[in-house]
Amino acid sequence: MWLLRQPHSLYGKMIDLNKIPTHVAVIMDGNGRWAAKNRVNRISGHNAGMESMKNIVRKASDLGIKYLTVYAFSTENWKRTEEEVSGIFKLLVKFVKLDLDELCEKNVKVMVMGDYSVIPDNAKKSLEKTMEKTKDNTGLQFNIALNYGSRAEILRGINNIIADEKKRKINLPIDEKLFSKYLYTGDECGNVPDPDLIIRTSGEQRLSNFLLWQCAYSEFAFTDTLWPDFTREEFEQIIEKYQNRERRFGGRN
């Protein structure tokens, strides 16, 4: 315990371990451009992106972050070629299979956020196995947003609310707290708190349908780094900067 309270000073950066964000969300963007830059195919770009993802899961776990959510595949990403889409899912299977032991060793709990019923069968099975195997872990909760889109999430929540009201399970009007429970981040994923920090790589400054309800008071960090080039050091630097921001939530300082 004593050790944990010391400032974390790897790479010369000072992270205050008493002010670690509870929930960090990452829009892992730029795999395609990284592939073009390195003259390899897009799948190789996604493969390199998986390596970055692994590094960040490890780092998040080591820093004591409670929730890490990564945007891995959006409801709009089906617009890509069949080859790219199936390649991404194959890589995910590879990740969960190869890294399951390490995830368990690190006490990481894996959850999938989004409608994954429609993803390829073997990817679904591997993910379900991983979720089952890690369900009692009490360390970092690692949420993989897969076939996730925030507008679809909100509409699904509203439709479920209407259905539950008809069954007299809930009473109208609903409040923010109850609405949040109907989102993927709600009851389904153990009521994940809203993200404190949302990071997007690759220089784009948009949300692309990610956590639209949940980001009301999130801090944002945009970096030009392409996701496969994103390092643990940069992750630490971003967290350090986040710790120096003042969050007011509409109040006064």
Q: Which one among 23, 24, 27, 29 touches Mg ion, defined by CB under 5 A?
A: 29
Report the greatest alpha carbon distance in the chain: 58
- The C-alpha atoms of residue 196 and residue 27 are separated, in whole angstroms, by 14
Assess 31 for contact with ligand IPE (CB under 6 A): yes
CB of 190 to ligand IPE, least distance (A): 22
Assess 63 for contact with ligand IPE (CB under 6 A): no
Catalytic status, residue 29: yes
Q: Is 228 exposed, middle or buried (0-12, 13-18, 19+ CB in 10 A)?
A: buried
Assess 27 for contact with ligand IPE (CB under 6 A): yes
Assess 74 for contact with ligand IPE (CB under 6 A): yes
CB of 77 to ligand IPE, least distance (A): 5
Q: Which one among 67, 71, 89, 182 touches ligand IPE, defined by CB under 6 A?
A: 71
* Catalytic annotation, pick one of 41, 55, 77, 209: 77
Total of chain residues touching ligand IPE, rule CB under 6 A: 17
Q: Pick out residues in 186-225 that bind ligand IPE (CB under 6 A).
A: 202, 204, 206, 208
**Region binding Mg ion by CB under 5 A among candidate stretches 23-31, 93-101, 128-136, 184-192:** 23-31
Q: Which one among 24, 28, 199, 239 touches ligand IPE, defined by CB under 6 A?
A: 28
DSSP string, the chain: -TGGGSPB-GGG--B-TTS--SEEEEE---HHHHHHHTT--HHHHHHHHHHHHHHHHHHHHHHT-SEEEEEEEETTGGGS-HHHHHHHHHHHHHHHHHHHHHHHHTTPEEEEES-GGGS-HHHHHHHHHHHHHHTT--S-EEEEEEEE-HHHHHHHHHHHHHHHHHTTSS-SSP-HHHHHHTSTTTGGGT-PPPPSEEEE-TT----SSSSTTTTTT-EEEE--S-GGG--HHHHHHHHHHHHTS---TTS--
Pick the closer one to ligand IPE by CB: 83 or 204. Answer: 204
Assess 30 for contact with ligand IPE (CB under 6 A): yes
**Region binding ligand IPE by CB under 6 A among candidate stretches 65-73, 132-140, 171-179, 229-237:** 65-73
Pick the closer one to ligand IPE by CB: 161 or 238. Answer: 238
CB of 29 to Mg ion, least distance (A): 4
- The C-alpha atoms of residue 47 and residue 53 are separated, in whole angstroms, by 10
- List interacting residues with ligand IPE (CB under 6 A): 27-33, 71-74, 77, 88, 202, 204, 206, 208
- List interacting residues with Mg ion (CB under 5 A): 29
Active site residues: 29, 77
